[in-house]
Amino acid sequence: MTVRLTQWTIDVLDVELMASFWSAALGYRTERGDDGAAKLYPSSAYAPTVWLQPGGAVKRDKNRNHPDLTPAPGTTVDEEVERLIALGARRVDIGQTGDEPFEVLADPEGNEFCVLHP
């Protein structure tokens, strides 16, 4: 037997900011909970949801895990990186050499993620 990834959960300081960023970045629909959390829903039943729960402390170190994103067909990595930066992401240096097949960015609260080259 195996399992499938159904949800990615992030502890966040500003649920509204992070819901706005990640829903725009991923093209997900957002629903706010009575508990202050937000759940982001994909248009495909096969993609994982995203749960943004309030709490935690300011991020201090490099993530131990992170999502890898792929640009939509017909979109270049450079175009996608610029779109994500316009939404509030920023480039970060985690020690990459410049020869990696990905671009490293961080969301508005500093959580790293990669945009993969095809």
Domain that holds residue 6: 1-55
Rg of the chain (C-alpha set): 14
The mean per-residue pLDDT over the stretch 51-63 comes to: 86
Task: Please tell me whether residues 6 and 33 are part of one structural domain.
Answer: yes
**Residue 70, burial from CB neighbour count under 10 angstroms (0-12, 13-18, 19+):** middle
pLDDT of residue 15: 96
pLDDT of residue 86 exceeding 80: yes
Three-state DSSP at 35 gives coil
**Are 81 and 43 members of one domain?**
no
CA atoms within 13 A on the CB side of 61: 3
Report d(CA 58, CA 70) in Å as an integer: 27
d(CA 47, CA 85): 23
50 and 1 within one domain: yes
Which pTM was predicted?
0.92
Q: What is the CATH number of the domain that holds 24?
A: 3.10.180.10
pLDDT of residue 16: 96
Tell me the residue type at 116: L
Give per-residue pLDDT as tens, 16-52: 999 999 999 999 999 998 999 999 999 988 899 999 9
The answer on 118 and 92 residing in a single domain is yes
Mean pLDDT across the stretch 53-73? 88
Segment 54-83 mean pLDDT? 91
Examine the domain organization and report whether 118 and 74 are in the same domain. yes
116, 69 contact by CB (below 8 A): yes
Give per-residue pLDDT as tens, 88-114: 999 999 999 999 999 999 999 999 999
Tell me what pLDDT residue 59 has. Answer: 83
User: For the chain, what is the mean pLDDT?
Assistant: 94
Tell me: do 51 and 81 sit in the same domain.
no
- 106 phi/psi in degrees, rounded to 5: -130, 145
The answer for residues whose C-beta is within 8 angstroms of residue 84's C-beta and 6 or more apart is 25, 105, 115
The pLDDT value given to residue 111? 95
